[in-house]
Amino acid sequence: MLTDQVKNLRRGLDLAPSAMDIRKLFPMFAPASFFMGGKWPGPSETLAASGVGLTWALDLEGGGMRYLDRPMCAHWEGKKLDWRAEALANIRAATADVFTHRVGRKAGNGIFAGVMMHPDGWGPSRLLLREALEEAFPEGYRVAMPEMSCGLAVSRRLDREEEAYVKGLVAQCLQNGTRPLAPGIFEAHEILPKDMQTSPGS
């Protein structure tokens, strides 16, 4: 018997581009291997972060998602809609708190890591919310996305114990997650798509 999520996913595949709600479109990090071979149905970017790519997807009602495909892009572009900007605005609007968990320093002066495991499943997409992350880490930050529903932002100033904690957390998520993504810890700019690299206010 099909689960409701699978039913909703199949129903989403039958929807015409004109029936898609652009307010449900979000950026999505995925393994770069998804986009090799030239058969991906929609837009994608291979990022500077090793093994990481970026695509876009729609959040379907009742669970599930549908990857953005070229007919949807053409439909919105025909309406003069900047679907990339809309997707970024959507994840910003859906974010009351950029972190679901914070890891504080022993000395009690702030945090050294923030985890993004939001129940909506778009946690790592919030790594694109640079203003919020720069506010959380004024000293600068790095990022990780060991699993497709788990993102981390970490301070650039880690002591050895904190660095070991972060590396262990990344390894644990990578090993135990159902959708592993990338094992690395990256510079913040390495996960930015081309259209965000020259717009620091995004």
Q: Where are the domains of the chain?
A: 4-93, 101-196
Per-residue pLDDT of 51-68, as tens digits, reads: 999 999 999 877 788 999
> What is the rounded average pLDDT of the residues 38-49?
93
pLDDT at 65: 86
> What is the rounded average pLDDT of the residues 14-21?
72
pLDDT at 16: 66
Three-class SS of the chain: CCCHHHHHHHHHHCCCHHHCCHHHEEEEEEEHHHHCCCCCCCCCEECCCCCEEEEEEEECCCCCEEECCHHHHHHHHHCCCCHHHHHHHHHHHCCCCCCCEEEECCCCCCEEEEEECCCCCCCHHHHHCHHHHHHHCCCCEEEEEEECCEEEEEECCCCHHHHHHHHHHHHHHHHHCCCECCCCCEEHHHHCCHHHCCCCCC
